[in-house]
Amino acid sequence: DFPVVTIPVYVHVIYNNSQENISDAQINSQIAVLNKDFRLTNGDASLVPSEFSGNAADTQIQFSLTGITRKFSTRAEWGTRDDMKKSSQGGVDPIDPANYLNIWICNIGGGILGYAQFPGGSATTDGVVIAAPYFGTEGYVSAPFDLGRTATHEVGHYLNLRHIWGDGRCRQDDFVNDTPASDRSNYGCPSYPTTHCKSNDMTMNYMDYTNDACMYMFTNGQKLRMRAVLESGGARASLAL
Ligand code: ARG
Ligand code: ZN
Ligand code: CA
């Protein structure tokens, strides 16, 4: 099996009001969720239906918080064009992104919970952005996205995972062999089974669009895809040193 890999994390809080200046406790609550979800120690893993229980993976990837930066900004909304990652635009530059996962916390706007950069992109914009109310499980959080699963989902993208439905029709792949085909995202808290493309959707996968309380697994195939970018020769191998 694989060795456990620990990814060091910097969190950059960019706030326009005191609520958005989230507490260290809120940040730590998110790191704890990432560690549970990626190590399959999340309590709700027991809810995985038996059809999929053999697919649920301990990715053997974990996270440790290295540091927190904080910056007040007069800007109330940052959008998705990476300005929050640039000091030249009033944001905060990433710290050594080859060796650290950088996470920016700021108001994105447009109803967007978070977004991520896939492996292979520019170092200057590398990392994950999450809006404050969807980061962590305590403090300034907002249901039904108050269980820290936005970061789990976005870090999945950062480690090369696609959405579970492949962002297309039934034949559009997510390049993972143990996730069932689907032609759509699911929302809310779907009842099991929810069937599309002649198979039951894995609506409880972190890479679907369901509520935080209704997503609780990665698969073995997703684990392989994430581990591949962290291993020797992978696009994020330097994170795992
Ligand atoms: N990028 C997605 C969005 O902003 C994140 C979805 C995360 N889903 C969740 N249940 N936390 O809509
Ligand atoms: Zn996504
Ligand atoms: Ca698949």
pLDDT digits (tens, 9 = 90+) for 71-97: 999 999 999 999 999 999 999 999 999
pLDDT at residue number 241: 83
Q: Tell whether the model's pLDDT for residue 61 goes beyond 70.
A: yes
When pLDDT is averaged across residues 92-118 and rounded to a whole number, the result is: 98
Q: Tell whether the model's pLDDT for residue 28 goes beyond 80.
A: yes
Q: From the candidates 51, 77, 138, 154, give the one annotated as an active-site residue.
A: 154
Q: Is the ipTM of this complex over 0.90?
A: yes
Ligand 2 mean position to 167 CA, how many Å? 10
User: pLDDT tens for residues 172-221?
Assistant: 999 999 999 999 999 999 999 999 999 999 999 999 999 999 999 999 99
Binding site membership of 174 for ligand 1 (Cβ less than 6 Å): no
Binding site membership of 213 for ligand 1 (Cβ less than 6 Å): no
Q: Tell whether the model's pLDDT for residue 18 goes beyond 90.
A: yes
User: pLDDT tens for residues 117-172?
Assistant: 999 999 999 999 999 999 999 999 999 999 999 999 999 999 999 999 999 999 99
pLDDT at residue number 240: 93
| Nearest by Cα to 226 from 171, 160, 148 | 160
Q: Is 154 part of the annotated catalytic residue set?
A: yes
When pLDDT is averaged across residues 50-64 and rounded to a whole number, the result is: 98
- Tokens in use for 135? 């980061």
Q: Which ligand is nearest to the CA of 55?
A: 3
| Nearest by Cα to 152 from 15, 6, 31 | 31
pLDDT at residue number 1: 66
Ligand 2 mean position to 198 CA, how many Å? 23
Neighbours of 86 (CB within 10 A): 15
Nearest atom, ligand 1, residue 112 CA: 4
Question: What is the pLDDT confidence band of residue 2, given thresholds at 50, 70 and 90?
Answer: confident
Q: What does the DSSP assignment read for 69-118? A: EEEE-S-S--TTSSGGG-GGGTS-PPS-TTTSEEEEE----TT--EEEPP
Neighbours of 188 (CB within 10 A): 11
